[in-house]
Amino acid sequence: MSWITILWSMIAAACLTLAAFYFVVWHKQRENSVHLLFSSSAVAAAAIAGFELAMIHAKTVGQYEALVRWIHLPAWVLIVSLVGFVRLYLHAGRRWLAWNIYGPRTLVLILNFSFRPNLVDRRCESREGTIGSCRVPLQPQPAVFGLP
């Protein structure tokens, strides 16, 4: 077992420990949803760490592309819950500003599952069944739907 596996597992365990603690606190104080938002952001961070670890150990390009596609889901949960946490706990920001974060991030999540391999559209080449290099074009490419 490599040190990176141990470190990423420790990060995920710390996130899940915080998530469990704040979930119990929310369960006792249901009127305060800030604790639930923090708990969900900690679970999402642990899921992202798990996806990253799986991406490090992916054996094929197909596995890697599937993990890149699915990591957007906990990233969406993390962003939405952190914005909600900042809005409710710190009483900072405007409601329209929060919705300007929720909307485009939700659109990116939907579009990510609409395109193959994903919205980022990296082309990965495999060598002998393992992950080779991912090529990123040097020339500017038109973005999705022709938007810059």
pLDDT at residue 93, as a whole number: 80
At 92 the pLDDT is 85
Instruction: Give the residue ranges of DSSP H helices in the chain.
Output: 3-28, 34-56, 61-70, 72-89, 95-112
β-bridge partners, 131? 126
Q: How far is Cα 13 from Cα 66, in angstroms, rounded to an integer?
A: 24
Bridge partners (DSSP) listed for residue 134: 124
Cα–Cα distance, 99 to 67 (Å, whole number): 27
Whole-model pTM?
Answer: 0.79
Q: What is the dihedral of CA 127, 129, 134, 137, to 10 degrees?
A: 70
Q: Is it true that the peptide bond before 117 is cis, omega within 30 degrees of 0?
A: yes
Strand partners, 126: 131
Q: Is the alpha carbon torsion for 11, 15, 20, 22 positive or negative?
A: positive
Per-residue pLDDT of the chain (148 residues; tens, 9 = 90+): 888 899 999 999 999 999 999 999 999 999 999 999 999 999 999 999 999 999 999 988 888 888 988 999 999 999 999 999 999 999 888 889 999 999 999 998 998 888 777 776 555 554 444 455 555 444 445 555 555 4
Please tell me the number of Cα atoms within 13 Å of 69 on its side-chain side.
16
